[in-house]
Structure 1
Amino acid sequence: MEFLCVNILAGSFELPYLSVYLDATGSYFTYGANFATAGSTIRPQNTTLAQSGFSTISLNVQYYQYSQFHSRSQIIRARGGVFRELLPKNDDFSPALYTFDIGQNDLTSGLFLNMSTDEVKMTVPQILDQFTTIVKYIYGEGGRSFWIHNTGPVGCLPYVMDRLPITAGQIDSVGCANSFNQVAQYFNQKLKETVVQLRKDLPLAAMTYVDVYSIKYSLIKHARKHGKPV
């Protein structure tokens, strides 16, 4: 889950921002918890943060943290005391909204390992298999409402365009690397198919697929319209 996205969502419902799960002080989890980290991936990376810039807290680790939070929060509530009101009730977990904004770094990590775009595409099924597993785990713990973002146009990211070789012919009219955006579009196509299958596999769940790619690409394409200085 991405910290910024989920807090924008919370703000739109006039709710407090979600506390970060790993924040040691001042956390208030009654309205939920944020398990996201910058640079996180769906698949665990065989590198350290210093080596690659990608977080070691991949989606499976975030799920383990969530599962521990689910069980331990109820243990603490049962003990009473000052922390009781800082934690959600057990009945809060099933109707909660579970948001996911992850996968972009899985694509860029492959590109940074000098994989071709076709090679990165070949990793997508395994990436989404792991994503599916985590969603099913959360469903197994009672989660029923899922808000799933697709990934943005990675070929428009400055750090991608700066680090990877790009020819003039690969640049589209907006100034983005078309070949890398095609990788993102392929991922999104397969993610949408995954969500369709999850709806069949998890009949009690409500799955919302959000096209973040189109929104972000439009913001870049129409930057001046949205307030970028001329």
Structure 2
Amino acid sequence: MASFPHFLALTLSPLLLLLLMAHPVVSQCKNRPIIFNFGDSNSDTGGLVAGLGFPVNLPNGRSFFRRSTGRLSDGRLTIDFLCQSLNTSLLSPYLDSLAGTKFTSGANFAVVGSSTLPKYVPFSLNIQVMQFLHFKSRTLELFTAGSEQNLINDDGFGNALYIIDIGQNDIADSFAKNMSSVQVLKRIPLITIEIKAAVKALYDQGGRNFWLHNTGPLGCLPQKLSLVKKDLDQYGCISSYNDAAKLFNEELRRVSLKMRSEMKDAKIVYVDIFSIKYDLIANHTKYGFSSPLMACCGYGGPPYNYNIHFTCGQPGYQVCDEGSRFVSWDGIHYTEAANSVVASKILSTAYSTPRVKFDFFCSS
């Protein structure tokens, strides 16, 4: 077995190192790993700041980057750990003109607050796909002109991995608009239709490798708990929110299965993020975490430490000591420590259908 790369040993958390050692996932990439990511704040590596200038202040980014990078976490996101598992650079936001990159390893189109519906508003999923289409067209134009031969060529786009991690805001916003559970559930097929349309658009452009994340347990987010405070399950999460998430996930799983039969030359991997994150909440002590339903950075103290008027990074916020073992960073997003566990579970292949290694797209 290949030895663990020194680069990863220096950059991954001790907990993640232990988990990765238990599930060896050292990249076997023979080709340059190229990734295009589409999604919301769970995988936004700076798109909101670059695109709209919206401030994301410290203490965001304090644990790894030592500065704010536009990520809504104290450090790295799950997508960052996945990239590091391939020993490739972290994805730069497509909208960041000062990123100092030529996007030779791909690009991140995810932006905070994004959803699938409504369409044609910044930065819905179909807008992100439209941005990709422009990016691809312009990149190939420059490559053909010979101005920069290190750019992604047509084969590179065809062999790339296309990650879609979206849907959380569609469900959460529906509840926020006081829709009934029945009304929320009726919208779910409309959401998955948009995800399927995005995959089909990328497939029609030559994409053949897809990695689809389902949505996590919305009812376990401190922000939601601070507002609802009822209908709680045995772990203190909101049952109706989690039930809606599970139904969305089941529909996405079904759609993924159907797409595999329709796009027989494509590899479409469905990843059960819900089970990973719910296990982290339910068995938090096993992973070394405390207070799984309380935000590290927020206001108000136990049980949730979330107040919409004093959110993380805004005047009046309070933050836990660096190195504290919290699952939730700001009441909505996860800490770097929690993201590292999520990434290790993804890399184990135990939550993927079909069960393929994350580097499947670049290892042959």
Q: TM-score, normalised by structure 1?
A: 0.89
Question: Could you say which residue in structure 1 is the equivalent of 2:83?
Answer: 10
Q: Are the equivalent residues in 2 in contact too, given 1:20–1:27 (CA < 8 A)?
A: no
AA partner of residue 117 (structure 2): R
Alpha-carbon distance in structure 2 between the residues aligned to 1:207 and 1:155: 28
Question: Could you say which residue in structure 2 is the equivalent of 1:107?
Answer: 171
Q: Are the equivalent residues in 2 in contact too, given 1:147–1:208 (CA < 8 A)?
A: yes
For each residue in 1:75-110, what CA deviation from the matched residue of structure 2 results, as whole angstroms up to 9, or x when unmatched? 1223334x543x311210111111111101100010
Q: CA deviation at 1:185?
A: 0.4
Q: Are the equivalent residues in 2 in contact too, given 1:42–1:60 (CA < 8 A)?
A: yes
Q: Does 1:208 align with 2:281?
A: no
Question: Could you say which residue in structure 2 is the equivalent of 1:149?
Answer: 213
Question: Could you say which residue in structure 1 is the equivalent of 2:245?
Answer: 184
- Structure 2 gaps of 5+ residues are 1-37, 45-76, 292-364
Q: Are the equivalent residues in 1 in contact too, given 2:119–2:127 (CA < 8 A)?
A: no
Alpha-carbon distance in structure 2 between the residues aligned to 1:88 and 1:194: 30
Q: Pick the aligned partner of 1:37 from 111, 114, 126.
A: 111
Q: Pick the aligned partner of 1:221 from 253, 258, 282.
A: 282
Q: CA deviation at 1:45?
A: 6.6
Alpha-carbon distance in structure 2 between the residues aligned to 1:40 and 1:188: 18
Q: Per the alignment, in what secondary structure is the counterpart of residue 189 of structure 2?
A: helix
Q: Are the equivalent residues in 1 in contact too, given 2:214–2:271 (CA < 8 A)?
A: yes
Which residues of 2 match residues 58-77 of structure 1 at below 5 A? 58-77=124-143
User: Taking every aligned residue pair, what percent have the same amino acid on both sides?
Assistant: 39
Report how many residues are paired. Answer: 217
Q: CA-atom RMSD, angstroms? A: 1.7
Q: Pick the aligned partner of 1:159 from 223, 235, 255.
A: 223
Q: TM-score, normalised by structure 2?
A: 0.57
Distance verdict in 2 for CA 1:172–1:39, change over 3 Å: same
Q: Are the equivalent residues in 1 in contact too, given 2:212–2:268 (CA < 8 A)?
A: yes
Question: Greater relative contact order (Cα 8 A, min sep 6): structure 1 or 2?
Answer: 2
Question: Could you say which residue in structure 2 is the equivalent of 1:19?
Answer: 92
Q: Are the equivalent residues in 2 in contact too, given 1:154–1:180 (CA < 8 A)?
A: yes
Q: CA deviation at 1:157?
A: 1.0
Q: Does 1:139 align with 2:208?
A: no
Question: Could you say which residue in structure 2 is the equivalent of 1:125?
Answer: 189
AA partner of residue 226 (structure 1): Y
Q: Per the alignment, in what secondary structure is the counterpart of residue 191 of structure 2?
A: helix
Question: Could you say which residue in structure 2 is the equivalent of 1:49?
Answer: none
Runs (4 or more) in structure 1 with deviation over 3 Å come to none
Alpha-carbon distance in structure 2 between the residues aligned to 1:154 and 1:205: 30
AA partner of residue 100 (structure 1): I
Q: Are the equivalent residues in 1 in contact too, given 2:119–2:125 (CA < 8 A)?
A: no
Distance verdict in 2 for CA 1:118–1:166, change over 3 Å: farther
Q: CA deviation at 1:162?
A: 2.1
AA partner of residue 38 (structure 1): V
Between structures 1 and 2, the one with greater helix share? 1
Q: Are the equivalent residues in 2 in contact too, given 1:30–1:88 (CA < 8 A)?
A: yes
AA partner of residue 128 (structure 1): T
Alpha-carbon distance in structure 2 between the residues aligned to 1:140 and 1:17: 27
Alpha-carbon distance in structure 2 between the residues aligned to 1:133 and 1:147: 15
Q: Pick the aligned partner of 2:254 from 179, 182, 193.
A: 193
AA partner of residue 84 (structure 2): G
Q: CA deviation at 1:216?
A: 0.4
Q: CA deviation at 1:35?
A: 0.6
